[in-house]
Amino acid sequence: MRLRLAIQKSGRLNEDSMRLLKECGIDINNGVNKLKAEATNFPIELFFLRDDDIPQYVENGVADIGFVGENEVYEKAKSVDVVYALGFGKCRLSFAIRKGDTFTGPEFLTGKKIATSYPVLVQQYLNKHNIKAEIHEISGSVEIAPGIGLADVVCDLVSSGSTLFMNGLKEAEVILNSQAVLIKHKKFSPEAQAILDRLLFRIESVKKAKKNKYVLLNAPNEHLDKIISLLPGMRSPTVVALATPGWSSVHSVIAESDFWEIIEQLKAAGAEGILVVPIEKMIL
């Protein structure tokens, strides 16, 4: 059998999804404007769909799994399981107001006209704070609504905020932080789960590699213990004697989040010739 995966047919999530599959070693035969494609070396088939349709297709079992933004999962409220956070497509769903206005909290929205493509999530927010407001559902170009008198406030996805700025708006309140996630339907067969487990193993290996750097350095033996203490690695650093007496080569893995701090400490401890290499895959 083949696992049926739904991804966005165009846009950034499509590009990131295809890149991830490639990094997982999965080759896809994807012709121009095709709505379906198969992998040549992994039991998976791709469906290219609108992102807001993916939760429905997965719920119905037309697709077994999907790569889709959390915002669409929660807005559509379909009966699917969120299996894995993919780490790309990060954005936030936020209220935005005119630059000259001052957001005083949820009560600011009372009686306001709110333009959004996410009426379910906006209504949930309003209900949570006991706010009564008028929601206008718009598909696309939400940011222009205040400028043409259609709304007082917008609620839309924000990445950099540049689109809001160009339309005379500013971000006021985040109601959801979102990223791409892997979802699956509720009636998953053991055969499908086995393939999904293989896919998740590859995805996890790629993600771990991106969070770490492989480091090689030369260390004077008199400072070796100190340098090793700074480099725990996955288990412990690898130490190899150099041809030059009194020196060793030390190999280890450093988490991206700790990288610069540890490099500075290594230099201070006497490490020389530090070489940093990206990791393609990381299997633990």
Give one DSSP letter per residue of 128-180, joined into a string. Answer: HTT---EEEE-SS-GGGTGGGTS-SEEEEEESSSHHHHHTTEEEEEEEEEE-E
User: What CA–CA distance (Å, rounded) separates 17 from 44?
Assistant: 14
Q: How crowded is residue 4: how many other Cβ atoms within 10 Å of its Cβ?
A: 20
How far is residue 72's CA from residue 213's CA, in Å, rounded to a whole number? 33
Burial class (CB in 10 A: 0-12, 13-18, 19+), 179: middle
Mean pLDDT per 10-residue run, the chain (284 residues)?
94 92 90 82 95 95 97 95 95 95 96 96 97 92 89 93 90 96 95 97 93 93 92 79 94 89 93 91 81
At residue 4, the pLDDT reads 97
- Fold category of 212-278 in CATH: Alpha-Beta Plaits (3.30.70)
57, 36 in Cβ contact below 8 A? Answer: no
Contact 46, 5 (CB under 8 A): yes
pLDDT at 156: 95
Tokens matching residue 220? 């004077």
Q: At what angle do helices 190-210 and 12-23 cross, to 10 degrees?
A: 90
Range 3-89+179-209 classified under CATH 3.40.720.10: no
| Cα–Cα distance, 186 to 82 (Å, whole number) | 10
- Pairing type for strands 44-49 and 3-8 reads parallel
Q: Is 3 exposed, middle or buried (0-12, 13-18, 19+ CB in 10 A)?
A: buried
Map out the domains of the chain as residue ranges. 3-89+179-209, 91-177, 212-278
pTM: 0.84
User: Given 3.40.190.10, 3.60.20.10, 3.40.50.740, 3.50.50.60, which CATH number is that of 91-177?
Assistant: 3.40.190.10
pLDDT score at 174: 96
Q: What is the DSSP letter of 3?
A: E
Q: What is the pLDDT of residue 233?
A: 61
Identical topology for domains 3-89+179-209 and 91-177? yes
Per-residue burial over 83-122, b = 16 or more CB atoms within 10 Å of its CB, e = otherwise = bbebbbbebbbbbbbbeeeebeebebbeebbbbbbbbebb
